[in-house]
Structure 1
Amino acid sequence: MNFEFTEEQGMLRDSVARFIQDSYAFDTRCKIAASDEAMSRDNWQTLAELGWLSVPFAEEHGGFGGSPVDTMVVMEEFGKGLVLEPYLATVLLFGGLLQRGGTVEQQAELIPRIIEGGCLGAFAYLERQSRYELADIKTTASAQGDSFVLNGEKVVVFNGASADQLIVSARTRGEQSDRDGITLLLVPADAAGIERSSYRLMDGQLVANILFQDVQVPAADVVGEQHAGFDLMHEVVTAANIALAAEALGIMGQLNAKTLEYTKTRKQFGVAIGSFQALQHRMVDTFMAYEQTKSLLYRAVCELDGGGDDVAACVHALKVMVDRSGRKIFGEAIQLHGGMGITDELDIGHYAKRLMMINTTFGNGDYHQAQFSQLRYSA
């Protein structure tokens, strides 16, 4: 099978890589992380001008009409630079829900604004008790006339502090964990009755807990079908998991490259530590972990792009592999760098923290191992 990128994909990869090299040095990234929004509005506009915000959107909305492979290319390079701008939250989650389930009016109004960099979005799905279950929802949306009244709380909302628009999962019928009875609502982030409290995660990104108290939402602002939001959420999150795995792959590659370079320059007993056979074996192990993750990522992307029947199993397996390989690679990188590996002054620890956050987003390795086993057992 040919896994080579097309000429356009190669150009896309090279352009993102140049941006990371020229404009997203580690010191610059640290300053962005320490800023009030933990993102750069100027960088966001640059991403828009370069066309990267348009990659997954259909051409009729002004998008590039890209495939999951194109998204993978962008996210892998973003991983190498530890990019903080909310590409996942705004383009892949919020934009993905609109692309797949939005009305003609919602798509016409918001997707061009996302592409132009004028709209920041967020997907508010997670609750305190829900852990990794998308269907575990206590937030309610009660129908009143031609509107819904939204009440509840969402936590760890990616880009929730800076978002202009939110898509919120709410229960409109059924029991707390039923997949049926979930409705997705498009809500302005400054609507009356919304209270946001922001905080930073260990990887530097700013997230928010959002409280909804009697928020009025017109019935026309439903995204997808009423009571049938779970399948739409699941479809978008599946694609987002693959994109996150691509970001993780970029991070793993950087950790391996930086650690290999360090072992060539760090001397002990008068020789470079990279000359020690035991350390060479460990570097080979981390290289193999990277290659195994890459292979499984390509398998998952091909399944998703081709509409295969094995997408769910591939994604569960990929998340397990990202968890295991990521832990191995960042663990070895930190240990081989010695005490410097965990300092804020060195980028190694920051790569490790981002990998840990990716591993807990939409389910960690143990969760996806259980889901994979259940899927295979039920089949």
Structure 2
Amino acid sequence: MNFNYSEEQSLISDSLGKLLSDGCSQAARRALIAEEQYHDPAIWSALGELGMLGLPIAEAYAGVGGTAVDTMVAAVEFGRHLSLEPFTASVVLGGGALQLAGTEDQKKAFLPGIADGSKRAAVGFLEPESRFDLSSVTTRAEPDGDGYRLTGRKTAVIGAPSADILIVSAQTSGATAEPEGLSVFVVRPAASGVEIKPYRFADGRIGADIVLNSVQVAASDMLGPKDKAGDIIEHVADLGTAALCAEALGALEKIIAMTTEYLKVRTQFGRPIGEFQALQHQLAEMTIDFEHAKSLVFEAAMTADSPDAPLRKKAVSAAKVYLGERGRVICQNAIQMHGGIGMTDEYELGDYVKRAMFAEKAFGDTDHHLERYARQMT
């Protein structure tokens, strides 16, 4: 497989890397967290000006018209620099849902704003009791006049506290109160009955639980046909999962680079510990695992846009499983080779480990995706 970026992708990587290198230092990230800021407005604005927020959005809606591979290139940089910006939440998940299922009016209303950064979206498909099963939905959408009333709860919604629009799943009831199946709706955070309960994820990003207390939405707020809602939800989640895998790849690359440098400067018995054969072997295994992960993340990105659901699910789940298993080993070995300093909050290695571990759990852990991969094989 050819891992070389195209000229355009190299420009994306270089431009984004320079911007994030200047604005995403450990001190800057921790200052944002201490000040309870969701992200850096200056960086978000710059991302919009550079066109990064419109990468996967069609040109007809003020986007760049890129592919999921272009999104992967950007996501690797976000992971490499531990950015707190809600790129995956708003652009990949929110923009992806609108592009896959939005009407022409909905696309025109929301996508240009997402592309230039003036609007942010968040997607809530998971519920407290659902584990990682996106079809296990207890949130109800009951008919009310020309629209619906939504009642339920969503959990672990990435980027929700800073979002201008929320995209949620619900079980739709017909006129006889009998369930009709899954639907997807656009909800305004300021609407009566919407309660957002924010918190930080382990890697510093912002998320929230969303409580919907009889929230009124119009019929025009529904995304996509009802009979396709389940497929849409799965596809949106795969787009987000592929991007999170790319973020983890960027974080793991930095972890290996930090470990390599540490082995050169840390001395024991009068020489750098990187000269010890056992540690050389361990670092070589970490590098091999990273290269295997890289190939699977590239394959997931290349299939994330595909309407071929079995092909897409296998590729995304394969990347998720491998990163979950071997990515954790890379993190553990890196901490072990750093010794005591690798366990301290002050040292940045732990921040990268947290980013990789977040990606391991988001949208399904290793066991979940191993089972999903097996289902596609049968």
Name the TM-score, length of structure 2 as normaliser.
Answer: 0.95
Q: Contact (CA 8 Å) 2:299, 2:315: kept in 1 or not?
A: yes
The CA distance in 1 between the partners of 2:197 and 2:306, in whole Å, is 41
- Shift in CA distance, 116/350, structure 1 to aligned 2, threshold 3 Å: same
Give the equivalent residue in structure 1 for 2:128: 128
Return closer, same or farther for 1:180/1:143 CA change in 2, 3 Å cut-off. Answer: closer
AA matched with 2:342: G
Give the Cα separation in 1 of the matches to 2:15 and 2:307: 28
Map of 1:220 onto structure 2: 220
- The answer (yes or no) to whether the contact 1:173–1:227 under 8 Å persists in 2 is no
> How do 1:194-343 and structure 2 match up within 5 A?
194-226=194-226, 228-304=228-304, 310-343=311-344
Does structure 1 conserve the Cα–Cα contact (< 8 Å) formed by 2:195 and 2:210? Answer: yes
2:38 — aligned with what? 38
SS at 2:143 equivalent? strand
Distance 2:307 2:149 in 1: 37
Deviation, structure 1 residue 173? 4.3
Equivalent runs, 1:95-244 vs 2, <5 Å: 95-173=95-173, 181-226=181-226, 228-244=228-244
Distance across 2 between alignment mates of 1:352 and 1:145: 50
The yes-or-no answer on 1:361 pairing with 2:362 is yes
Aligned residues: 373
Kept after mapping to 2: 8 A contact 1:303/1:310: yes
1:102 partner letter: G
Contact 2:19 2:43 in 1 (8 A): no
Structure 1 residue ranges, 4+ long, deviating more than 6 angstroms after superposition: none
Structure 2 unmatched ranges of 5 or more? none
Of stretches 334-343 and 305-314 in structure 1, the one that deviates more from structure 2 is 305-314
1:172 aligned counterpart, secondary structure: strand
Shift of 1:37: 2.8
Give the partner amino acid of 1:18.
K
Taking a change above 3 Å as real, the CA distance of residues 202 and 302 of structure 1, as seen in their structure-2 partners, is closer
State whether residues 69 and 305 of structure 1, in contact with CA within 8 Å, keep that contact through their aligned partners in structure 2.
Answer: no
Q: Which amino acid aligns with 1:152?
A: G
Deviations 1:105-143 (CA, angstroms, capped at 9, x unpaired):
111111111112111111111111001000101110001
Residue 227 of structure 1 and its aligned partner are, at CA, apart by 5.0
> How far 1:238 moved relative to its partner?
1.1
Asked whether the equivalents of residues 157 and 208 of structure 2 are also in contact (C-alpha less than 8 Å), the reply is yes
Letter in 2 for 1:60: A
**What does residue 27 of structure 2 align with?**
27
Asked whether the equivalents of residues 242 and 300 of structure 1 are also in contact (C-alpha less than 8 Å), the reply is yes
Identity across the alignment (%) = 39
SS in 2 for 1:337: helix
- Amino acid across the alignment from 1:339: G
1: CA distance between counterparts of 2:2 and 2:206?
Answer: 39
Q: Is the 8 A contact 1:180 1:228 kept in 2?
A: no
Aligned equivalents of 1:195, 1:365: Cα separation in 2: 31
Aligned partner letter, 2:79: G
* CA distance in 2 between partners of 1:94 and 1:190 (Å): 18
The more displaced of 83-92 and 155-164 is 155-164
Aligned residue in 2 for 1:51: 51
2:191 aligned counterpart, secondary structure? coil
Where 2:60 maps in the other structure, the secondary structure is: helix
Report the CA distance between 1:221 and its aligned residue.
0.7
Separation (CA, whole Å) in 1 of partners of 2:218 and 2:344? 49
Contact 2:304 2:316 in 1 (8 A): no
The amino acid that maps onto 1:182 is L
Q: Which residue of 1 aligns with 2:14?
A: 14
Which residue does 1:349 correspond to in 2? Answer: 350
Task: Give the superposition deviation at 1:145.
Answer: 2.1
Q: TM-score, normalised by structure 1?
A: 0.95
Is the CA contact (8 Å cut-off) linking 2:297 and 2:319 kept in structure 1?
Answer: yes
Instruction: Say which SS state the counterpart of residue 215 (structure 2) adopts.
Output: strand
Quick one: structure 1 residues 112 and 364, their matched pair in 2 at CA, closer, same or farther if it must change by over 3 Å? same
Shift of 1:306: 6.4
* Structure 1 CA distance for aligned equivalents of residues 119 and 285 of structure 2: 43
Cα distance in 2 for partners of 1:316, 1:83 equals: 24
Gaps of 5+ in 1: none
Is the CA contact 2:161–2:198 (under 8 Å) kept in the aligned structure 1? yes
Q: Distance in 1 between matches of 2:43 and 2:148?
A: 36
- In the alignment, the residues of structure 1 paired with residue 35 and residue 81 of structure 2 have an alpha-carbon distance, to the nearest angstrom, of 17
Question: 3-state SS of the aligned residue for 1:330?
Answer: helix
Deviations 1:150-185 (A, max 9, x none): 1011111111112111111111149xxxx9711111
Alpha-carbon distance between aligned partners in 2 of 1:43 and 1:2, rounded to the nearest angstrom: 31
Cα deviations across residues 329-379 of structure 1 (Å, max 9, x unaligned)? 111111111111122211111111111111111111111111212222x2x
SS of 1:161's equivalent in the other structure is helix
Contact kept, 8 Å, 1:119 with 1:164, in 2: the verdict is yes
- Distance of aligned partners of 1:78 and 1:58 in 2 relative to their CA distance in 1, 3 Å threshold: same
For 2:370, give the aligned amino acid. Q
